[in-house]
Amino acid sequence: MSISTVNFASPASIIAYSSSAMGNTVEGIKASSARLYSLVIDNSLNGSATYVKLYNVASGSVVLGTTAPDEIIYVPASAIITVQYWTSATPGKVFGTALSAAAVTAGGTAGTTSPSSACVVTANYV
């Protein structure tokens, strides 16, 4: 698994976090408050659906399968999707504590199994 973070000066100092193989190890995208603008999720290598779970909790405090996710994103088999967060006049979805994520093969709180192949997740946030 490869993780990278890139800072962009414009627009608005957006940071692009990319995980080349997100799975059932919870990743800390940002350890403090974050405004998430978009996610690009590449599930094209998997013949089954993947669920990306987002948490408003520091990654070390998430117990996968027990901690309720703040959002669950369904990604169809062999698909690439983009999720834009424009929830109000101010763009982005706020995660007031931290932004953490994991990718698993079942929705709901209980899913804990990693996808069989790499699920690439890119988050754009400040």
Instruction: State the burial class of residue 37 (Cβ atoms within 10 Å of its Cβ: 0-12, 13-18, 19+).
Output: buried
Residue 78 has pLDDT above 90, yes or no: yes
Residue 83 has pLDDT above 90, yes or no: yes
Question: Which residues, including other chains, have CB under 8 Å from residue 10's CB and lie 6 or more apart?
Answer: none
What share of the chain has pLDDT > 70, as a percent?
Answer: 89
pLDDT of residue 90: 80
Instruction: Quote the CA–CA distance of 105 and 76 in Å, as a whole number.
Output: 11
Mean of the per-residue pLDDT values for the chain? 92
Domain that holds residue 93: 3-125
The CATH number linked to 101 is 2.60.120
- Of the pLDDT bands very low, low, confident and very high (cuts 50, 70, 90), residue 7 is low
pLDDT of residue 6: 64
pLDDT of residue 70: 98
Whole-prediction pTM value? 0.90
Instruction: Quote the CA–CA distance of 21 and 23 in Å, as a whole number.
Output: 6
- Of the pLDDT bands very low, low, confident and very high (cuts 50, 70, 90), residue 89 is confident
pLDDT in tens, 26-68: 999 999 999 999 999 999 999 999 999 999 999 999 999 999 9
Count of the separate structural domains present in the chain:
1
